[in-house]
Structure 1
Amino acid sequence: MSDISDYEQERLANIARNRALLAQLGLADASDSLKPTKSSAKPVQPRVKRPKEPAMPTRQSSRLRKAPVDPNESPAAKRKRERDEELRRRQEEEERLAAAEREREAKRPRHHDLDLQTLAADLTSEDIGQLRSAFSLVLKTPYPKKTSSDDAFVFNEDAKDVAEVKELEGRLGRLKVVARAKVTQDRIYSAAYHPEPTKDLIFFGDKHGQLGIWDARAPVEEIADEDGDVPPAGDQEGGKYWRLQMHWPATSRSSISSIKFDPIDSFSVYTSAYDCTVRNLSLTSGIATEVFATDGMLLTSIDMPPHGHEMWISDALGGVTHMDLRTHRSHARRYELSDQKIGTVSVNPTRPYFLVTASNSRDMRVWDARMFDSLSSRSLRSAPNSPPTSRPSSKVKDPAGATISNEVDYETIEKLLATKKGQTTARASWAHNKSVTSAYWDPRGRSILSTSYDDNLRCEHIDA
């Protein structure tokens, strides 16, 4: 890495080049035009309404439930009446307990495998058949994760530079809205575009653990409203979508924080959620499997290197976990790189040993994961006489056994950074004015785009 003054000069040069590019595209004053304007387009009307939850049985006063007693009833009739009342009370109590248990069960996370029928409980058999047909189309050809060479988008001749700018300008001029839809029922937290080139297939994760799958260009059937009128085409939802309850319970405790496709063939989609699990939905079998889980530690993002088989997971306690998907989850290893939440971890697509993390500590850092192997580890199991802590446990949750993984704590990382070797572990760091919410590598692995609560987008260039 160059010294600070050289870096600052390079950063200013990048800003000047970007401004010149915007000027050539006629977007020099774009920031002034990005003010809220009143849109003439009406909100699209969703085709699917949220199903009503079944009402819990209500208890009534025993006095109100009792039928009038005949003052002249015989002793035998009285005994029969009392037996019937006792039987009715027992049945009502059993029904109440069963309903309460169903309600508790509905709030518990699900760790077992889930088939498509379970994930799409609110869909009809016809809708599920259409979803399987959409999956079958994207399973014909594997689409590995693409990377770019270091010299991509770098031109030594002005003529090539101008030609690229004109082509980009033409593409931007042809952009238009072709479809709108309310794909998920709640606020969208994450999204991913499937690489299938013949379809616009987009996956969305919402606040309540729902995975929405949208075929944006699928033909739409005209559906009349309650008055029998067909709304104008601009007010209708475009395409076809399906909703799968990927994570459970269906509350804000299961918000889907990130979505990633398998980097080798894109036949599997991985999701992380606030229910402290990572799940894998196979588009081939339609089965959703849990691949990772923790005991009360929120998972904020996942990323995978282009060669697959590995996964990096960031969490709300300031750690990142490395897991080899070919081995049992108990072999995962966690590194506490920050004393505050890490919102995202991103793997360099061309040099997968470089990671970038975005943290609430207001720092964005680049790490060399090769240096992590030499760090000492300790069991996640607490020492017998260790004091209790109010922080959620970072223990890996394994329903099939009690095997514990390894962790390198924040104190060990801090000691490492204070040494000469630590300078090669944390390769670069950028301070932001407020918490860094996300940071991602570009396809070349040469630049990082970050977002922050200071309302700025920043692009940092990395020297190879």
Structure 2
Amino acid sequence: MSGSGSAAGQAASRQPPPVKENEYKENQNITYLSLNPVQTTLLRKTAKVYLAPLSLSNLDQFKYSEFLLEKNSDNEVACEEYKTKIKKTCAKILTPKMKATSSKAESTLEKSSLDVYTESDKLQDKSNSDAVILSVDMESSQDGDSDEDTTPGLDDFSGLSPYERKRLKNISENANFFASLQLSESAARLREMIKKRQPPESKRKKPKKRREEIGCRRSMRLLKVDPSGGSLPATPTQPTLVADETPLLPPGPLEMAPENQNDNKELFKGFLQTWTTVSKTCNKNTEKGISSIKSYKANLNGMVISEDTVYKVTRGPIYSLALHPSETRTLVAAGAKFGQVGLWDLTQQPKEDAVYVFQPHSQPVSCLYFSPANPAHLLSLSYDGTLRCGDFSRGIFEEVYRNERSAFSSFDFLTEDASTLIVAHWDGNMSLVDRRTPGTSYEKLIDSSLTKIRTIHVHPVHRQFFVTAGLRDIHIYDARRLNSRGSQPVIFLTEHTKSIASAYFSPHTGNRILTTSADCKLRIFDSSCISSQIPLLTTIRHNTITGRWLTRFQAVWDPKQEDCFIIASMAYPRRVEIFHETGKGIHSFFGGECLVSVCSINAMHPTRYIMAGGNSSGKIHVFMSDKSC
């Protein structure tokens, strides 16, 4: 009996004591992980997983859990994975660190293991395939890693989640991998190889260059030394003239002596006699009726250019052009930047003998007109403050008006007999000049409301009115109301947004005003009724940006056609364009190889179909019909 009693006692001691289901709540003060159920999904079924600490005393618990998993036939895959993890966990438990665990902790773990037994029995009753018991290190166990040196113990991971344990393991693996590559050793070897390839520095010092007393090689003329080595005699210095300080030509008449034809004076005298005769026989009433647009376009299409009608007349850029009104001969006058006035007779051949260049001014010639009363007179105005009249009959440049304190920009005839002129100054002033006074001209200075005047033009019918182009405003004045102390315009035109280059009345009626502005727009105003308001009729987009090297564009009316005007173009291939007042393009003059530059200044013959264009190098291009030759 005693033997059977002792055997029964031993069996009773082996069996775990009954533990209530909620007994784990009393052990919440233990430092291991809580036994609260964690919901997870395994094989599309929900199972409650309890995490419990392990010790040497609960090895039977793993055997019992393994028995439960083998019994569940539906989760064969989970059982295989669980067996593998159990083996790894057992290997971890047998570390020296776990062997040294105190007896108090083991007793506590034994008590918690009983809770796992009881809970596992209940889960087995509810489902035959969902009960799985995992240990604390089950989630952190790695595939086949059980080395004591690389795998931390249970106490090191007691406060980390499974994700953090996995992350620390990856960091350690990456560090070991990069250490195995031995990158630092490879870099050190590469540095040594680069150092070996560098050539050794030469210890020899480079000789210093000797500084010569003279420096670099210089011409003997600048050093004032002759080829033999002796010093040259001192040469008298001549004062140099600055472009802005060009001296004015002496007052009074100047002889009409060509600069390019000094050797052939007899030829020049024949030239003067020819144009004197032509001017006398020139019919004053040569104006023709305005033709239709259709016939006008047909005549323009017949105008051509050739090598014989292209020639370099002046030395600098052309600022002004004028065509003689002769019906039999073709004479073109050009005013240049450096004060030159060039005359080209296209009827005479060869071209070299038909061009005459004069120097009546010292600064740019901005305005040229043949006198409407006597075509043998060519009036020229310059920035130097002088207005001269070239008389072919006498062969002189007579001085009409002079003002050394101001620069002139433009002029026009107030009367048809050309006896009275209106002169515009760059500073905004105007002058009334009467040529009928014997000796010197009578002058009256008028102060305008503009700060600068570029062009001035008189109405062709009502000659008391004239239009001025300022910086950004167009003013129309009445000559009968001019005052020396200050004159107010009759009409203001303020539609322009940038500087204005020119403003002209239409040639026959004066019912239109054509303006050219730097805002790339050509504007046409209705001036048929000069009142307080002049409406804007047409705005044409046109490129007028020429830059500093080209003369500014100026749109001018064709004197033969009341409603058409001509202007240069920046487009390729180079051309000169004619527009209707409605903005429609009428014709474009193309010259091919004969026209390869921009003709900034253009002029039309008053009665014949002849057009002359001047560029910024002093060259004149002439388009003319076969009938005009």
The structural deviation recorded for 1:431 is 2.8
> Aligned partners of 1:146 and 1:219: how far apart in 2?
27
Structure 1 residues 190 and 143: alpha-carbon distance in aligned structure 2, compared to 1, 3 A threshold: farther
Alignment of 1:6-17 (within 5 A): none
Secondary structure of 2:304 counterpart: coil
Q: Of residues 405, 408, 426 in structure 2, which corresponds to 1:299?
A: 408
Q: Which amino acid aligns with 2:499?
A: S
Gaps of 5+ in 2: 1-220, 530-629
The structural deviation recorded for 1:173 is 1.8
Q: Which amino acid aligns with 1:355?
A: F
Q: Of residues 282, 291, 302 in structure 2, which corresponds to 1:174?
A: 302
Alignment of 1:343-358 (within 5 A): 343-358=454-469
Aligned residues: 301
- Checking the alignment, whether the CA contact within 8 Å between 2:366 and 2:383 is kept in structure 1 is yes
> Aligned partners of 1:116 and 1:142: how far apart in 2?
22
Structure 1 residues 213 and 147: alpha-carbon distance in aligned structure 2, compared to 1, 3 A threshold: same
CA deviation profile, 1:55-94 (whole Å, cap 9, x unmatched)? xx9995799458xxxxxxxxxxxxxxxxxxxxxx8xx87x
Q: Of residues 218, 241, 258 in structure 1, which corresponds to 2:355?
A: 241
- Counterpart position of 1:19: none
Structure 1 residues 430 and 215: alpha-carbon distance in aligned structure 2, compared to 1, 3 A threshold: farther
Structure 1 residues 349 and 147: alpha-carbon distance in aligned structure 2, compared to 1, 3 A threshold: farther
Secondary structure of 1:296 counterpart: coil
- Checking the alignment, whether the CA contact within 8 Å between 2:496 and 2:517 is kept in structure 1 is yes
Q: Which amino acid aligns with 1:431?
A: E
Please report the RMSD computed on the Cα atoms of aligned residues, expressed in angstroms: 3.3
Q: Of residues 507, 511, 520 in structure 2, which corresponds to 1:455?
A: 520
Structure 1 residues 182 and 145: alpha-carbon distance in aligned structure 2, compared to 1, 3 A threshold: farther
The structural deviation recorded for 1:189 is 0.2
> Aligned partners of 2:305 and 2:477: how far apart in 1?
39
Secondary structure of 2:276 counterpart: helix
- Counterpart position of 1:442: 506
| TM-score, scaled to structure 1 | 0.58
- Counterpart position of 2:37: none
| TM-score, scaled to structure 2 | 0.43
Matched, 1:117 2:265: no
- Checking the alignment, whether the CA contact within 8 Å between 2:261 and 2:268 is kept in structure 1 is no
CA deviation profile, 1:289-342 (whole Å, cap 9, x unmatched)? 111111231100111132320011111101121111112657311222234210
Structure 1 residues 123 and 354: alpha-carbon distance in aligned structure 2, compared to 1, 3 A threshold: farther
Q: Which amino acid aligns with 1:446?
A: N
Moved more, 198-207 or 115-124: 115-124
- Counterpart position of 1:324: 434
Secondary structure of 1:171 counterpart: helix
The structural deviation recorded for 1:364 is 1.0
Structure 1 residues 102 and 341: alpha-carbon distance in aligned structure 2, compared to 1, 3 A threshold: closer
Secondary structure of 2:254 counterpart: coil
Alignment of 1:98-137 (within 5 A): 107-117=247-257, 122=262, 124-137=264-277
- Counterpart position of 1:213: 343
- Checking the alignment, whether the CA contact within 8 Å between 2:257 and 2:358 is kept in structure 1 is no
- Checking the alignment, whether the CA contact within 8 Å between 1:314 and 1:320 is kept in structure 2 is yes
Matched, 1:338 2:449: yes
Q: Which amino acid aligns with 2:524?
A: C
> Aligned partners of 2:521 and 2:475: how far apart in 1?
17
Structure 1 residues 168 and 147: alpha-carbon distance in aligned structure 2, compared to 1, 3 A threshold: closer
The structural deviation recorded for 1:120 is 6.0
Structure 1 residues 143 and 311: alpha-carbon distance in aligned structure 2, compared to 1, 3 A threshold: farther
Q: Which amino acid aligns with 2:269?
A: G
Structure 1 residues 59 and 264: alpha-carbon distance in aligned structure 2, compared to 1, 3 A threshold: farther
Structure with higher Rg: it is 2
Alignment of 1:414-453 (within 5 A): 417=488, 425-444=489-508, 445-453=510-518
Gaps of 5+ in 1: 1-56, 67-88, 154-162, 222-236, 249-253, 376-407, 418-424
Q: Of residues 192, 196, 200 in structure 1, which corresponds to 2:322?
A: 192
> Aligned partners of 1:173 and 1:167: how far apart in 2?
10
> Aligned partners of 2:225 and 2:402: how far apart in 1?
45
Secondary structure of 2:481 counterpart: helix
> Aligned partners of 2:382 and 2:440: how far apart in 1?
17
> Aligned partners of 2:349 and 2:386: how far apart in 1?
35
Structure 1 residues 277 and 58: alpha-carbon distance in aligned structure 2, compared to 1, 3 A threshold: farther
Q: Of residues 133, 140, 143 in structure 1, which corresponds to 2:280?
A: 140
- Checking the alignment, whether the CA contact within 8 Å between 2:473 and 2:492 is kept in structure 1 is no
> Aligned partners of 2:330 and 2:337: how far apart in 1?
23
Q: Which amino acid aligns with 1:125?
A: K
> Aligned partners of 1:141 and 1:192: how far apart in 2?
19
> Aligned partners of 1:109 and 1:331: how far apart in 2?
21
- Counterpart position of 1:72: none
Percent of residue pairs identical? 26
Structure 1 residues 143 and 283: alpha-carbon distance in aligned structure 2, compared to 1, 3 A threshold: farther
Q: Which amino acid aligns with 1:303?
A: D
> Aligned partners of 2:338 and 2:283: how far apart in 1?
30
